[in-house]
A and B are shown apart, each in its own frame.
Chain A
Amino acid sequence: MQNISGKQLAAGGAVLALLVILPLVSSSFGQHVMIITFMFAMCGVAWNVMGGYAGMFSFGQVAFFGIGAYTSSFMVLTFHLSPWIGLVAGGVLSALLAALIGYPCSKLRGHYFAIASIAFAEIVRIVFNNWKTVGAAEGLTLPMVKESMAHFMFHSSKLPYYYIMLLFLLLAVAVCYWVSTSKMGYYFRAIKESHEIAEVLGVNVVRYRLFAIMISAFLTSMAGTFYAQYILYIDPESVMILAISVQIVLVAMLGGASTVLGPVVGAAILIPLSEYSRAWLGYKGTGADMILYGTLITIIAMYQPAGVWGAFNSRMRGGK
């Protein structure tokens, strides 16, 4: 992916143009599905920075997602600040916390890191669940105010949410592309292959691992703020549970870890699958949609263990 050819650029442009036009002709539920898809795609891309490139399999992304959601909502409710300020504040806070927790965890390998990330996210959830200042278990409800860009709130149409989320996703993809092609990306991959060799080569392992975690945390936190402004109600049960972390990892793995667009493809498969199957089959209460979902992801992973986009990518490259 280092050199983008003219053809690729044209194809990318075409997809982008399509994504800009598509919501204008789709139903409101269709828009919702795409918004949620972009949101998880963004989280997947962010996960990829630390999981796919730097080799830190995090199952605790939801902590950053939740902190993003809580920071902006808390600032809106308490200081009446625009969510856009909260968006940045949440990102910075998440990145700082990521560094704080990432430092002692930086010597942990593989599964030990994965479980440590779950432990961290669960502690964050439990603290928020008991912390009266941020609403504790009752959560925070954002009042419906007049729609405007400054309030980051839109009632009459989902389109503004859609385009904002699309921009967020493009930003995340751009950051990930930049990381993967920059010197930092090479260091990340060296660390992923072997700590020891990377260290011998003079890579400051701890520092670069922290960079990866912080970038990932910032982007995930942005998605969290978006969620809060979109749903307008958050509680630890809905923005800080392990299921969201797992969903993020699934999106990245299924699409193809360590490819820039893999998580986007993963989200484009998984999220519409679960949303539409729920809408079509869920009302019967048979669980048929979940059975279908479970079966399909098992089959996809069995036949495309490197991820859908990952497999596609390497086949294209092999063909040339």
Chain B
Amino acid sequence: MPPVRNRLEYSFMEQFVQQIVNGVLIGLVYSLLAIGLTLVWGVMNVLNFAHGDFLMLGMFLSYWLYTLAGIDPLFSIPINAVALFLLGMFIYRFIISKVMKGPGLAQLVVTFGISIFLSNVAALIWTPNFRSIEHTLLSGTWDISGIKLSIPKFVSSIGSILASFGVFWFLRNTRTGKAILAVEMDREAALIMGINTERINSLSFAIGSALVGVAGALLATYYYIYPFVGGTFGLVCFCIVALGGFGSIEGAFIAGILVGVVQTLGGYIFDPSYKLAIVFAMYLITVWIRPQGLKGW
């Protein structure tokens, strides 16, 4: 084999900074996805395999609103949030709640079944073909002294930050939010205190889904859309939630950015084919030192 020379020394610093920027941008989207997941996980102890498929539904909803009604994905954010909130509530009421009392991980089988069902029904109705939204309000790239900043990605991360802080504020400052946190910390105690845990469950599942809906609208501005797109994000999200600590919103937020940066920077400096291995190794080392994750208890 001829010697392969990666001319890394050339404009190394510029690409280095560029990769950190890119890492933060994708990391913030991970954060938003992970916050929805960690809320469900923390409150109900349910590992939601259908999370990525909710994302897919959100993306398709934005796509159809854009194609059929001319609504820009940016404006479909509230519609997405409401629609996915209702869907989440519906799925919780009629499916998940039925297995909440079951032992072990029966919920896991159920969410896995829902995941297969949703992605394949989407492929049946909308065909398995690929789509994307052209010419949104956001397109193009800013060039800030050599560092490229994609406008849709930038706006998505701003949206992600706003949504994350919105949830954070809601949980800390409203009665319902505090009730959710209480259930997350100790279900039995919350029950004794008179909190309707069933309502809290359904609410947190719905909020988790709504967040994914928002993420779907944001991603739809620059990502391809097809029925199996959820699988692309699923695994990384599980890792982020665990890294941040189950049920910890701050943890998921920080871990999302961390994973984004480690992944892009690791891929750039070492070898892209090892970039996920670096992320997983980081998780293993973290929990080895701190078994409850970064911010868990």
Contact = CB atoms under 8 A, between A and B. Distances in A.
B is a partner of A: yes
B166 interface: no
B120 A115 contact: no
Contacts of A294: 113-118, 120
Contacts of A116: 242, 283-284, 287
A239 interface: no
A298 B95 contact: yes
A255 B287 CA distance: 31
Interface stretch (A119-127, A139-147, A224-232): A119-127
B288 to A, nearest CB: 5
Interface in B270-287: 271, 273-274, 276-277, 280-281, 283-284, 287
A257 B99 CA distance: 15
Given A290-B116, A293-B116, A294-B117, A306 B103 contact: yes
A297 B239 contact: no
A246 B231 CA distance: 13
A270 to B, nearest CB: 10
A305 B102 contact: yes
A207 to B, nearest CB: 19
B5 interface: no
Contacts of A305: 99, 101-103, 106
Interface centre among A246, A257, A294, A307 (most CB of B within 10 A): A294
B277 A301 contact: no
A104 B239 CA distance: 18
B106 A298 contact: no
Contacts of B116: 290-291, 293-294, 297
Contacts of B251: none
A297 B109 CA distance: 7
Contact of A246 (B103, B112, B277, B283): B112
A115 B239 contact: yes
Interface string A218-261: 00000000000000000000000010001001100110010000
Interface string B87-129: 0000000010011011111101110111111111101100010
A111 B98 contact: no
B293 interface: yes
B71 interface: no
B238 interface: yes
B208 to A, nearest CB: 16
Interface string A105-141: 1011101101110111011001101100000000000
A127 B273 CA distance: 9
A159 interface: no
B109 A291 contact: no
A246 B108 CA distance: 10
B41 A257 contact: no
B20 interface: no
A120 B113 contact: no
B235 A122 contact: yes
B15 interface: no
A57 interface: yes
Contact of B124 (A123, A129, A286, A298): A286
B30 interface: no
Contact of A122 (B41, B119, B280): B280
Contacts of A108: 287, 291
B47 interface: yes
A302 B288 CA distance: 35
A105 B291 CA distance: 9
B95 to A, nearest CB: 7
Given A107-B291, A111-B242, A119 B113 contact: no
A112 B242 contact: yes
A46 B274 CA distance: 30
A88 interface: no
A288 interface: yes
Interface of A: 57, 104-105, 107-109, 111-112, 114-116, 118-120, 122-123, 126-127, 129-130, 242, 246, 249-250, 253-254, 257, 286-288, 290-291, 293-302, 305-307
Interface of B: 41, 45, 47, 49, 95, 98-99, 101-106, 108-110, 112-121, 123-124, 128, 235, 238-239, 241-242, 246, 271, 273-274, 276-277, 280-281, 283-284, 287-288, 291-293
18 contacts: A104-B284, A105-B288, A112-B287, A112-B293, A115-B239, A242-B235, A249-B108, A290-B116, A293-B113, A295-B117, A296-B113, A298-B117, A301-B99, A301-B110, A302-B110, A305-B101, A306-B103, A307-B106
Given A127-B277, A130-B274, A294-B115, 20 more contacts: A105-B288, A111-B45, A111-B47, A111-B246, A112-B292, A112-B293, A116-B284, A118-B235, A118-B238, A118-B239, A119-B280, A123-B281, A126-B273, A126-B277, A249-B108, A290-B119, A297-B110, A298-B109, A298-B110, A298-B113
